[in-house]
Amino acid sequence: QVQLVESGGGLVQAGESLRLSCAASGRTMSTYPMGWFRQAPGKEREFVATIGWNGVTTDYADSVKGRFIISRDNAKNTVYLQMHSLKPEDTANYYCAAAADYLRTAYRPLSRVSEYGWWGQGTQVTVSS
């Protein structure tokens, strides 16, 4: 059983920064691609960023490119999302996810909700204008 626990969310003003963390337990996730998604009220869950198992391959949604950085520390079984220049439209519940087993060795970026097999409970990010 895999458990993913997000932290670091909060209320910030537009232009500020936040760093989200996702700690994995129950299984070593160092060989799994990981991703961040977000969901605002009344909207579908959307892709934010992904990172390959080796930390080299990354991909971002167009809306966050140049502002967000995904990284991982496999020794700590933790994935991070550094968010800069936050905007009110970034307000959402942010979810960490681990790739499904059959995509464990995928080299291409994984950006679809259906490509992830484990999810955290989410952490709320609210950006005021």
Least confident of 1-5, 26-30, 105-109: 26-30
The model's pLDDT over 13-54, given as tens digits with 9 standing for 90+, comes to: 999 999 999 999 887 788 899 999 999 999 999 999 999 988
Q: Supply the mean pLDDT for the chain.
A: 95
Residues in CB range of 98: below 8 A, 6 or more apart: 2, 4, 24, 29, 32, 33, 34, 35, 116, 117, 118
Question: Given this model, what pLDDT does residue 27 score?
Answer: 77
pLDDT value at residue 104: 87
- Residue 65: CB atoms within 10 Å: 10
Taking 90 as the threshold, does the pLDDT of residue 7 lie above it? yes
